[in-house]
Chains A and B, each alone.
Chain A
Amino acid sequence: DIQMTQSPSTLSAFVGDRVTITCRASQSINSWLAWYQQRPGKAPKLLIYKASSLESGVPSRFSGSGSGTEFTLTISSLQPDDFATYYCQQYNSHSITFGQGTRLEI
């Protein structure tokens, strides 16, 4: 199995801050990486697919980068709605794993 490791596990920030979350894969996954946002009591919401493609309807303050084994999710200017938990997910050869999550809090 490919292991996905996110850092940090918890991130404290303020409205207006620029924040970056990192996800590392235990082996190369090319660009087969997605990012999700999950608010309490809700299903995850897709933000970024194929490492850097913005899902339709997602604000442009969200961006993704990376390839191979190291990836980042950046939020350019935090808004109150952005305080949530974020997960990365890899898709490689029909095997799927998620990172453990990063909780973004005020």
Chain B
Amino acid sequence: QVQLQQWGAGLLKPSETLSLTCAVYGGSFSGYCWSWIRQPPGEGLEWIGEINHSGSTNYNPSLKSRVTISIDTSRNQFSLKLTSVTAADTAIYYCARGGVTGAFGIWGQGTMVTVSS
């Protein structure tokens, strides 16, 4: 059974870089797209971007200038970096596995990231 486990710093100051990593257990990287999705407190879901096993990426245009998603196939991990964070980036960040249908069938547990001075 595939599981995603994520981690990273939970408290940042404005202008710092958010960095999260998601590890994939019990399954292969191949054939899937691996995404990051966030949810501000009390609000809806926002897709940040995705990467496939070959390292090809797609990003949300509204965040593209600040986002980098990378992959380490040797460790079955993928990572998110979001630069120049502000309070508006405060959210629960989820990693998720997307299939050929574009739906996210498996999610990480979520990481609450707070940006505050």
Contacts and interface: CB of A to CB of B under 8 A. Distances in A.
Interface stretch (A15-23, A65-73, A74-82, A95-103): A95-103
Contacts of B58: 94-95
A89 B35 CA distance: 14
Interface stretch (B22-30, B79-87, B97-105): B97-105
B105 A1 contact: no
Interface residues of B, number: 21
Contacts of A87: 44-45
Contact of B101 (A34, A43, A94, A95): A34
Interface of B: 35, 44-47, 50, 58, 60-61, 94, 98-99, 101-105, 107-110
Interface of A: 1, 32, 34, 36, 43-46, 49-50, 53, 55, 87, 89-92, 94-101
Which 7 pairs between the two chains have the least Cβ-Cβ distance? A91-B102, A49-B103, A34-B103, A43-B107, A94-B58, A96-B47, A98-B45
